[in-house]
Structure 1
Amino acid sequence: MGDIIPLVGEHLALDLVNTRPADGDLLATPDDLLAWLELQAGRFSQARDLAAAGPTAAGLAAVRDLRDHTAQVLDHVRRGEEPPAGALDALNRAQRAAPPISELTWDGRAVTMTRRRTGPPAARPAAWLAEAAADLLADPAVVKVRQCEAHDCVMLFLPAHPRRRWCSATRCGNRVRVARHYQRHKPV
């Protein structure tokens, strides 16, 4: 992932789309995907399982393709427009490539359930992320998704507060505020 720190903590589908900032691609190699999945592991139990399997070049290609289709659908849906049918089909195909199951086991005292995905290991990360994209895209709140107001930022976020303007107060907010302060106070 290089020197760029990924924006995490938004809805998982937004975190995925945000792996393509204005100045590069945070998912350039299978190791980048592994590092990103490990960043997500604290929030999503499946991320740890996917990271443990070790992403492959095929898995990375599937995730990057999914990211592009998610971004395309999201761009239309958040404006209330019909998304391209091909992009929706791609999201559905990704989910079908590694269907989820709820596996039941006996732990000695009770039946427990664990969600996991079947299908080829290379398809599992994209299927898991496609399911997260479907959750976001079908949520009525998707129309509230915003792009950061910093002039050189393309990050998306779902504001918890209606006055939120930047992807991150520390990433873009401070930079914009410092630039504004400099403009107001620069010597003439």
Structure 2
Amino acid sequence: MDLVTGEPLALDLVNTSVRTPSGRDHDALATAEGLHTWLAKRAGRLTVPEAPLGPDDLAAVRDLRGHVERALEAARQAAPPPPEAVEALNQALRVAPAYPCLEVQGAVLRRGAARDGTPLDRLLTELAEAAVALLTDPGVGKVRGCEGPGCRLLFLPAHPRRRWCSPDLCGNRVRVARYYQRHK
């Protein structure tokens, strides 16, 4: 279930744990299958592991998501992030750093980037890099929570008046509720 699209990758990761319009909690990373589905939808923004990830790998991704969420919440409140979140992100960054490599495409040579490590290490490093990019962006304080009732999705508004994660979902529900109240 992807309700918000086009957000920074770190927000997409945090938004994998949502409250549905019916008020039920939904975790897109509850199963390894859910993780693979989520990763497949981000194939252009993230290197998707070819080998299936197992339950331990899923737990590592969920753990990283929790650290990103806590660091992001602190950044939104202009407070220092929890030290354990910083350490977890730094650890994930260390396990599979990118290094330059030479790529050959026909007669053309290009500078590329490669990573060593297991598929999980590479995934965690890429997710941690996305989190660091968001957390160090001067606009991190602009990250907002949806004002839709019961919704806890986060988004980075392109327009300062944006109030909902999705105008088609939460925005529409709020407008329908207001209309109903006016015509009651």
User: Does TM, normalized by the shorter one, top 0.5?
Assistant: yes
Match of 1:146 in 2: 144
Q: CA RMSD in A?
A: 1.4
**Matched pairs, number:** 179
* Alpha-carbon distance, 1:120 to partner: 1.6
Asked if the contact 2:92/2:128 (under 8 Å) is kept, the reply is: yes
Match of 2:31 in 1: 29
Q: Does 1:8 align with 2:5?
A: yes
State the one-letter code of the partner of 2:39: L
Asked if the contact 2:146/2:152 (under 8 Å) is kept, the reply is: yes
Match of 1:88 in 2: 86
Other structure's SS at 2:157 match: coil
Q: Does 1:133 align with 2:131?
A: yes
Distance 1:172 1:56 in 2: 34
Distance 2:147 2:31 in 1: 29
* Alpha-carbon distance, 1:118 to partner: 1.4
- 1:114-163 residue CA offsets vs partner (Å, 9 max, x unmatched): 33321122222111101000000000000000000012000000000000
Over 3 Å counting, the alpha-carbon distance change for 1:7 and 1:51 in structure 2 is farther
- 1:58-83 residue CA offsets vs partner (Å, 9 max, x unmatched): 32111111110000000011111111
Match of 2:22 in 1: none
Over 3 Å counting, the alpha-carbon distance change for 1:36 and 1:93 in structure 2 is same
Asked if the contact 1:50/1:124 (under 8 Å) is kept, the reply is: no
The answer to which of 66-75 and 24-33 deviates more is 24-33
State the one-letter code of the partner of 1:82: P
Asked if the contact 1:30/1:55 (under 8 Å) is kept, the reply is: yes
Q: So what's the TM-score if we normalise by structure 1? A: 0.89
Q: Does 1:161 align with 2:159?
A: yes
| Aligned residue runs from structure 1 range 28-177, under 5 A | 28-42=30-44, 44=45, 47=46, 49-177=47-175
Asked if the contact 1:6/1:26 (under 8 Å) is kept, the reply is: no
Gaps of 5+ in 2: 20-24
Gaps of 5+ in 1: none
Over 3 Å counting, the alpha-carbon distance change for 1:114 and 1:92 in structure 2 is same
The answer to which of 25-34 and 141-150 deviates more is 25-34
More helix as a share of residues: 1
State the one-letter code of the partner of 1:7: V
